[in-house]
Structure 1
Amino acid sequence: MGTAERREAHEAARGTGTSGAREQAYHRPLWVEEPARRRRLPDPVRTAAVRAVLVIAVTLIQAMVAFLCTLAGSWLAFPMVISSVVSTILATWAALDVWVTRQVWHQRHGVVSAPSSTARALRRERRRARRQERSAERAQSRIRRGGGAGQLSHS
């Protein structure tokens, strides 16, 4: 469907002619909102992930500089190699931090999970037992409230 065809369809829907279209610009949205395919990461996890990406990027740059300094025979090669080793340890820690933060967040805020059929059946059994206990308890309380034995009327 070309632009002219879209414009005509839009004008037909609005009830304006082609002369009105030239006077009034065709207005269409710049983008169309689509629902996200995946849910957004929780804030603490996203923060840890951004930090990890930055640390890993700096580590890769340091490693490349250390390699180039070594090839050039520069005095800076040794300090850069040492800093690259330390930076690699920090990058590993940052990646683990993302994983740990994610686990902690899930533990604190719960995870949406679909229980297995076994768990569902056990829960149903427990509910049924509780209902029976409550109904038996209500029946006992009614019997106790009923008054003395052999009483036929409330007078």
Structure 2
Amino acid sequence: MEEPAARRRMPDPVRVSAVRAVLIMSLTIIQAMVAFLCTLAGSWLAFPMVLSSVGSTVVATWSVLDVWITRQVWNQRNGVVSVPSSSARQLRRERRRARRAARAARRDEARIRRRGAENLSRA
């Protein structure tokens, strides 16, 4: 039996940047671990690995910020889900009712005119 998801699915651009951030973060952690082990072993590779780990940390930080920025941009462009108590929704509802009432009044007025014209043509 399939259960509904607890949270809605992330939008595609946000999900793509999140996956990219996770991959970059995992590679950065692996690289930092290799740098640490090279340092413990006294290998010549320790210094270049530490330098590249610092650079990778900067890139990983940017990738995490990219997820946040992409999410904010997506919300601004596509809007957020409105809540039932939203004032904008209430205004739209009132405008819709007013338009329907105006249309109904025009229809009734046209119907009355047609009936008046029919009665005149019969006389």
> Is the pair's TM-score, using the shorter chain for normalization, greater than 0.5?
yes
What is the CA deviation profile of residues 27-75 of structure 1, one whole-angstrom value per residue up to 9, with x for unaligned ones?
xxxxxx3413334434443332222111101111222222333344433
SS at match of 1:153: helix
Q: Any stretches of 5+ residues in structure 1 without a counterpart?
A: 1-32
SS at match of 2:48: helix
- Using the TM superposition, give the Cα deviation of residue 104 of structure 1 relative to its aligned residue in structure 2, in angstroms: 4.3
Partner amino acid, structure 2, of 1:116: S
SS at match of 2:82: coil
Match of residue 35, structure 2, among 66, 70, 87: 66
- Using the TM superposition, give the Cα deviation of residue 97 of structure 1 relative to its aligned residue in structure 2, in angstroms: 2.5
Aligned partner of 2:45 in structure 1 is 76
- Give, in whole Å, the separation in 2 of the partners of 1:120 and 1:108: 19
Aligned partner of 1:46 in structure 2 is 15
1:127 and 2:108 correspond: no
Aligned partner of 2:83 in structure 1 is 114
Worse overlay, 95-104 or 48-57: 95-104
- Using the TM superposition, give the Cα deviation of residue 110 of structure 1 relative to its aligned residue in structure 2, in angstroms: 5.2
Partner amino acid, structure 2, of 1:126: R
Worse overlay, 103-112 or 85-94: 103-112
- Using the TM superposition, give the Cα deviation of residue 93 of structure 1 relative to its aligned residue in structure 2, in angstroms: 2.0
Aligned partner of 2:61 in structure 1 is 92
RMSD: 3.2
- Give, in whole Å, the separation in 1 of the partners of 2:75 and 2:90: 25
Q: How many residues align?
A: 120
- Using the TM superposition, give the Cα deviation of residue 102 of structure 1 relative to its aligned residue in structure 2, in angstroms: 3.3
Q: Which structure carries more helix by proportion? A: 2
TM-score, normalization: structure 2?
0.69
Runs of 4+ aligned residues of structure 1 deviating over 4 Å after TM superposition are 104-111, 139-147
Worse overlay, 119-128 or 100-109: 100-109
Aligned partner of 1:153 in structure 2 is 120
Alpha-carbon spacing, 1:44–1:120, altered in 2? closer, same or farther (3 Å): closer
- Give, in whole Å, the separation in 2 of the partners of 1:34 and 1:152: 65
Computing the radius of gyration from Cα coordinates, the structure with the larger value is 1
